[in-house]
Amino acid sequence: MAQPFAKKDDDHDEEEDYSPFLGIEKSAVLQEARVFNDPQLDPRRCSQVIIKLLYLLNQGDSFTKIESTDVFFAVTKLFQSKDTGLRRLVYLMIKELSPSADEVIIVTSSLMKDMNSKIDMYRANAIRVLCRITDGTLLSQIERYLKQAIVDKNPVVASAALVSGVHILQSNPEIVKRWSNEMQEAVQSRSALVQFHALALLHQVRQNDRLAVNKLVTSLTKGTVRSPLAQCLLIRYASQVIRESSLNGQTGDRPFYDFLEACLRHKAEMVIFEAARAITELSGVTSRELTPAINVLQLFLSSSKPVLRFAAVRTLNKVAMTHPLEVANCNIDMESLISDQNRSIATLAITTLLKTGNESSVDRLMKQITNFMSDIADEFKIVVVEAIRSLCLKFPLKYRSLMNFLSNILREEGGFEYKKAIVDSIVILIRDIPDAKESGLSHLCEFIEDCEFTYLSTQILHFLGNEGPKTSDPSKYIRYIYNRVILENATVRASAVSTLAKFGAIVNSLKPRIFVLLRRCLFDSDDEVRDRATLYLDTIGSDMAQETDNDAKQFLFGSLDVPLVNLESSLKNYVPSEEPFNIYSVPKELKSQSLSEKKTLKKTNRLGAPPSGPTNLIDGYERLLSSIPEFSSFGKLFKSSAPVELTEAETEYAINAVKHVYEGHVVFQYNCTNTIPEQLLEDVSVIVDTSEAEDFSEFASKPLRSLHYDSSGQLFVAFEKPYGVPVTGKFSNTLKFIMKEVDPSTGETDVGVEDEYQLEDLEVTSADYMLKVGVSNFRNAWESMGDDCERVDEYGLGVRESLKEAVTAVIDILGMQPCEGTNSVPNNSRSHTCLLSGLFIGNAKVLVRLSFGIDGPKQVAMKLAVRSEDQEVSDAIHEIVACG
């Protein structure tokens, strides 16, 4: 039988897609605005035009000054209309137009009249608009009206005045602070909204006075607040007081904890949840304090309201990261949420269970997760994958079922971030669980057979090259790797060639087969693939089944000691000659160019340094110093510091210094700029006092012959020091010169007089003997370094403002490169591990593992573990920390 109403659904869909503002243009709407000037106003038509204008403004369309003025004056004529709906739109329009000071006066009288109207809606909106568009002068005139409005019997008017006070507080705080009595009275209002706004305004007025906030919370926690909204606000303020008291080192019971616990028995669900969330977020919260909050959240898990279930499970999910045992009591209730219609709730329930579940429940959870993974978005899938990874590390014996699950979802559809999260998880599990290596590598090999993401393919091939040769049967991976050479794009093919070479270098039995495959790659269409194949065939020796030498293995598996940017720059500057390119000539320190460093680099460029970045800057320094006969015998330049300012920004002379460190010498390069017109400086030199640097003796100096106005030049002073020893000291500097006045018309100079100019002190620190050199994989570098030259000791760092401040101080003392982002310390963390790497003077590689912890009130303790290629270097690093 035919369906007579089938067409109706299609029409309904079309109506849903239709917008009344579709295709409107500003010019047409401005033409329609002429209706505001009609003698007989049509409220309905005027309302439609204002709505269109508001739409344009909120969509980002801008009106010119003339257009805005015309619309404003036209809108003000609508005050004569008595239509309530139109009047509300007029108020909105005036607020959005934000008229200038000379235009505001046009509507001030109308708005003042509405403030005293008998219609409450007019009064409330007039207050909001006036406070929005007027300045402090007019606000002082209407302050009496605003005070009366705050205590008005009508809650709409009182709330309007209080909300306006919040906005006024940003620009005219002295006016709002005089309303204290009225705000206190409004806090006792029977209206929930008025009480909420009054409390918010009171807190904002006092927020910079911790004692005043404490008194406010103390007075209101005694039961005078009845509004659920205001109660939620009060809970947040009480939490703030608790946090600040813990930061200030106060001991004993938490202030206001009893108030938070009492709020768990409130009638309003929002207040109960706010109190429970506040308790779970307390720093250092104990199990006894958590129990009542978790019990309340457990009840919410079985609520019929989705918003309560979501709020409860999300909060428990966060608590499970720090207190999994306490949350485990809710596992039975959370298991029922796995099948919840709301996928967000189900995902949070699953991830919480994964964090709190025991080993026996893993298999059951995996079956339940499989059923709904296809129904959720990628961002939720990533959360599940990360939770599974944590569970596998927690229960390593369950790696088979968890690894199989990851492998199955890896074959399903998904975006790049989702697939990357799975691959990263499998890689971490392989590294941390030795038994999972074989199965994990097999899963990754199967994935790259049908992987559409080049980045993931190259990442997996690189990892396979490092781990595959160490397995029991390396030959089974060759097929997967060579398939990439045949089937993939040039980037993946090049990565596959490198992976084949690694197998050939480690597994002698596979070397003849690897050579055959690499020779086939010599005919590839891409030059990078051909070049890699040629390089590796030459590197790993002959195709006979003999062991590859250690230099080749170090080349294939070792970390690159120099930053790629520096290597690229040095290769560009390399001119082919009879001597081969020397990798050891590449600078090892990479300096990040912040805005201030770019300004410094620009200033240094004026002094003759190369302009093409930090690497060229270092090369330029070395060429400059080696060209000076007095310094040519110093050998290889180890490090050049960033310029150190020795004068203030607006003084007569702009002078900075660069410290150049050699094995047995230190050279100070003083970059000078003459900023005084009609003045010439001659025989410019720097007298350096070494009374606070006893280990240094002046060796040679190179003064500056002359320095004209707005010109720059360099002068040098070299010092001899104990060879290879990181000695420190402070140097006092005095600029000495002959100053001559220059006649601007003739250019002639007078006789001149000797003068001196005191400069800032310059200090050579331990950090000047350390190059910042990063490592790609700290753990591998640490293990390969070995513990032969390791030294471990503990130090007390004394009272520190925070753990972050202590970490930064130690990094600055050592001058090493933070690895893997470990220089970033989470807020409120009580322990942290920082990894550092560098090259000590003498080209000795150094790795440092710093373990920080809070030991008593603001007392920071540190465990320092150093590994290097020389025991004396490890001892020297400890000595630097002990003296620093």
The residue whose two tokens read 């020297």 is: 876
Residue 530: band (very low, low, confident or very high) from pLDDT cuts 50, 70, 90: very high
Tokens of 294: 């978790």
Q: In what helix (H) or strand (E) does residue 663 lie, and over which residues does it extend?
A: none
And the tokens for 462? 């690189």
Instruction: Say yes or no to pLDDT of 598 above 70.
Output: no
- Which residue in the block uniquely carries the two structure tokens 């109506």? 15
Q: Tell me what the mean pLDDT of segment 197-207 comes to.
A: 89
Give buried/exposed letters for 244-274 (b at 16+ CB in 10 A, else e): ebbeeeeeeebbbbebbeebbebeebbbbbb
pLDDT in tens, 485-525: 988 899 999 999 999 988 988 888 888 888 899 999 999 99
Output the pLDDT for position 102: 66
pLDDT recorded at residue 15? 47
What is the reported pLDDT for 6?
Answer: 42
Percent of the chain with pLDDT over 70: 89
Name the burial class of residue 700, with classes exposed (0-12), middle (13-18) and buried (19+) by CB atoms within 10 angstroms of its CB. middle
CA distances (Å), origin 247, targets 250, 595, 771 = 8, 33, 37
Residue type, 453: F
Provide the pLDDT for residue 310. Answer: 93
pLDDT of 437 > 80? The answer is yes
Q: Would you tell me which CATH number, out of the four given (2.40.170.20, 2.60.40.1480, 1.10.3720.10, 3.50.50.60), belongs to the domain 601-764?
A: 2.60.40.1480
Note the pLDDT of residue 666.
94
Report in angstroms the alpha-carbon separations of 872 from 666, 669, 696, 868, 876: 21, 30, 22, 9, 6
pLDDT at 779: 80
Mean pLDDT of 602-621: 48
Calculate ∠ Cα 843-844-850, nearest 5°.
130
Q: Assess contact for 29 and 49: CB atoms under 8 A.
A: yes
Residue 660: its H or E element:
strand 653-661
Arithmetic mean of pLDDT, 44-69: 86
Q: Is the pLDDT of residue 616 over 80?
A: no
Surface-to-core class of residue 185, CB atoms within 10 Å of its CB (0-12 exposed, 13-18 middle, 19+ buried): middle
Please, are residues 695 and 684 in contact by the beta-carbon 8 Å criterion?
no
Residue-level pLDDT at 247: 59
User: Are 220 and 234 contacting, i.e. CB atoms less than 8 angstroms apart?
Assistant: yes
**Which of 348-352, 599-603, 605-609 shows the highest mean pLDDT?**
348-352
pLDDT higher than threshold 70 for residue 397: yes
Q: Is 403 left (phi over 0), alpha (psi -120 to 50) or beta?
A: alpha
| Per-residue pLDDT, 883 | 78
Across the range 25-39, mean pLDDT stands at 86
Residue 626 in tokens: 């080696």
Cα separation, 244 vs 252, whole angstroms: 14
- Predicted local confidence at residue 614, as pLDDT: 43
The pair of three-digit structure tokens given for residue 407, joined into one six-digit string? 């492998």
pLDDT digits (tens, 9 = 90+) for 280-336: 988 878 888 888 999 999 999 988 999 999 999 999 988 887 888 888 888 888 888
pLDDT surpasses 80 at 189? yes
Q: Tell me, what's the pLDDT at 18? A: 58
Q: What is the pLDDT of residue 10?
A: 46
Tell me the per-residue pLDDT of 743-760, one tens digit each, with 9 for 90 and over: 877 777 787 888 888 899
From residue 316, alpha-carbon distances to 299, 343, 394, 482 in Å are 12, 17, 19, 48
pLDDT digits (tens, 9 = 90+) for 619-656: 678 878 888 888 888 888 888 888 888 988 777 788 99
Q: Mean pLDDT lowest for which of 108-117, 366-375, 850-859?
A: 366-375
Q: Which residue has the higher pLDDT, 774 or 872?
A: 872
Given a cut of 90, is residue 659 above it in pLDDT?
yes
Q: What is the pLDDT of residue 609?
A: 43
Mean pLDDT over the full length of the chain: 82
Percent helix, strand, coil in the chain, to 5, is 60, 15, 25
What is the DSSP code string of 66-125? HHHHHHHHHHHGGGG---HHHHHHHHHHHHHH---HHHHHHHHHHHHHHHT-S-HHHHHH
DSSP secondary structure code for residue 742 in this structure: B
Query: The domain 769-883: what is its CATH number?
Result: 3.30.310.10
Residue bearing tokens 């390069």: 669
The answer on pLDDT for 7 being more than 50 is no
What gap in Å lies between CA 517 and CA 540, rounded to an integer?
A: 14
Residue 591 has pLDDT above 70, yes or no: no
pLDDT at 295: 92
pLDDT score, position 396: 80
Residue labelled with tokens 């057979």 = 449
> Helices 437-448 & 399-410, crossing angle to 10 degrees?
0
771 closest CA partner among 730, 726, 731, 805: 726
DSSP string computed for 504-544? HHH-GGGHHHHHHHHHHGGG-SSHHHHHHHHHHHHHS--SS
Closest CA to 864 of 875, 852, 850: 850
The dihedral through the CA atoms of 526, 527, 531, 534 has a sign that is positive
- In which band, very low, low, confident or very high, does the pLDDT at 112 lie, cut at 50, 70 and 90? confident
> Which range (41-45, 141-145, 461-465, 553-557) has the least confidence?
553-557
The C-alpha atoms of residue 156 and residue 123 are separated, in whole angstroms, by 9
The partner residues of 682 in beta bridges, in order of sequence, read 706, 738
The percent of residues in the chain predicted with pLDDT above 90, rounded, is 17
Least confident stretch, 220-234, 387-401, 466-480: 387-401
Note the pLDDT of residue 578. Answer: 66
CA–CA separation, 187 and 202 (whole Å): 9
Q: How confident is the model at residue 846 (pLDDT cuts 50, 70, 90)?
A: very high
Helix 343-356 with 378-394: angle, nearest 10 deg: 10
Helix/strand/coil for 147: helix
Q: Quick check: 140 pLDDT over 50?
A: yes
pLDDT of residue 844: 87
Residue whose C-alpha is closest to residue 217's, from 246, 242, 193: 242
DSSP state letters, 615-626: HHHHHHHHHHHH
Instruction: Give the pLDDT of residue 602.
Output: 39
The predicted pLDDT at position 830 comes to 76
Q: Which helix (H) or strand (E) holds 837?
A: strand 831-840
pLDDT digits (tens, 9 = 90+) for 679-725: 888 899 999 998 888 889 999 998 988 888 877 888 999 999 988 88
Q: Is 434:400 a contact under the CB 8 Å cutoff?
A: no
Helix axes 155-171 and 192-206, enclosed angle (nearest 10): 20
- Kindly give the residue spans of alpha helices, DSSP state H, lying in 744-800: 778-785
pLDDT of residue 221: 84
Q: CA–CA separation, 304 vs 314, rounded Å?
A: 16
* pLDDT at residue number 365: 74
Burial of 791 (0-12, 13-18, 19+ CB in 10 A): middle
Nearest one of 809, 783, 661, 655 to 721, comparing CA atoms = 661
Give residue 340's pLDDT.
81
The pLDDT of residue 531 is 92
Q: So what's the pLDDT on residue 542? A: 64
C-alpha–C-alpha distance, residues 535 and 525, integer Å:
16
241 has a pLDDT exceeding 80: yes
